């Protein structure tokens, strides 16, 4: 296993394959680097260096009682980028990982980042408030916390259904995909995943998005039941200085897994542009 040790002693697991321009993949909650398997294999075959890490408290990384918030997540990525001496890197984030990408690129990415991609990503901010009337009510996230605390294993059996749009008429349900989601979620620590709910729902990335200058592709399914597109991609794309919005009709939150050929092709076109 390849790991780095952060300033507070947490060990961050990462995969690092190939040579060429580096692509760093940032996973969603409560998953791991394994969620990017279809992308890692594809882009490795295209001649890129592919890197994916397990966020602290997720997958094979250390479960920490503290630091389960976006500033520390981004600092962990910065430590990994410095350790691997990544230059001209492309950072791709899905869901919570999209928030991590926004914060990392805005605060730590100067001189190291060439492009960024936000897929089904949580920015600018998910939770509903007077300043964000189109957001998701706090009570929804409180419900997530309750279920993680009381019966995480059962909750993680239920989430993949809307995550991948398997509750839609005509959907081709994959038991393997749902089982793999559960496997990844249960690898991580309950405390870290509980805390991460606040991190992905209440962190305001507005200023981060405004500070990002590198070309950024915003990809989002218009049938995303986890991160509704109207309060995320539609707003983020307007805040970015050099952003491009691509909307996928009828696609769910987990479209990188359900439609890897389509997503990989569009990512490749953006990387080469």
Phi (first) and psi of residue 127, to 5 degrees: -70, 145
Q: What angle do CA 167, 25, 117 make, to 5 degrees?
A: 80
Measure Cα distances from 43 to 54, 121, 148, 218 in Å.
19, 21, 34, 19
CB 272 within 8 A of CB 245: no
Query: How far apart (Å, rounded) are the C-alpha atoms in residues 70 and 101?
Result: 10
* C-beta separation of 266 from 251 below 8 A: no
Which residue shows structure tokens 């189109």?
134
273 in active site: no
Active site residue 174: no
Q: Catalytic residue among 32, 61, 95, 232, which?
A: 95
> Could you give the 3-state DSSP secondary structure of residue 127?
strand
**Structure tokens of 174?**
């994959």
Name residue 113's beta-bridge partners.
Answer: 89
**Of residues 35, 208, 224, 231, which has the active-site annotation?**
224
Query: What pairing do the DSSP bridges indicate for beta strands 49-53 and 113-119?
Result: unpaired
**95 flagged as catalytic:** yes
Contact in structure between 86 and 112 (CB atoms under 8 Å):
yes
The Cα–Cα gap between 194 and 230 comes to 26
* Two tokens, residue 149: 């605390």
How far apart CA 246 and CA 138 sit, in angstroms, is 28
Q: How far is CA 236 from the centre of its chain?
A: 15
Catalytic residues: 95, 224, 253
């Amino acid at each position: 296993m390849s790991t780095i040790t952060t300033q507070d002693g947490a060990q961050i697991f990462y995969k690092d394959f190939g040579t060429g321009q580096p692509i760093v993949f940032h996973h969603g909650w409560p998953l791991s680097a394994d969620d990017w398997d279809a992308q890692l294999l594809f882009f490795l075959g295209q001649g890129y260096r592919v890197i994916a890490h397990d966020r602290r408290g997720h997958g094979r990384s250390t479960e920490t009682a503290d630091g389960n918030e976006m500033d520390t997540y981004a600092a962990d990525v910065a430590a990994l980028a410095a350790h691997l001496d990544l230059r001209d890197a492309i950072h791709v984030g899905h869901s919570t990982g999209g928030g991590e990408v926004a914060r990392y690129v805005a605060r730590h990415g100067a001189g190291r980042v060439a492009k960024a991609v936000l897929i089904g990503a949580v920015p600018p901010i998910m939770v509903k408030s007077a300043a964000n009337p189109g957001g998701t009510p706090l009570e929804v996230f409180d419900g997530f916390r309750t279920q993680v605390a009381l019966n995480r294993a059962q909750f993680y059996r239920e989430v993949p259904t809307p995550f991948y749009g398997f509750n839609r008429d005509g959907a081709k349900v994959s038991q393997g995909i749902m089982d793999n989601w559960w496997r990844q979620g249960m690898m991580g620590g309950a405390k870290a995943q509980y805390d991460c709910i606040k991190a992905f729902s209440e962190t305001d990335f507005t200023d981060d998005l405004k500070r990002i200058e590198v070309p950024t592709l915003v990809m989002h399914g218009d049938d995303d039941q986890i991160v509704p597109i109207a309060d995320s991609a539609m707003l983020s794309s307007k805040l970015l200085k050099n952003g491009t919005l691509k909307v996928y009709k009828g696609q769910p939150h987990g479209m990188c897994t359900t439609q890897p050929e389509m997503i990989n092709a569009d990512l490749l076109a953006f990387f080469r542009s």
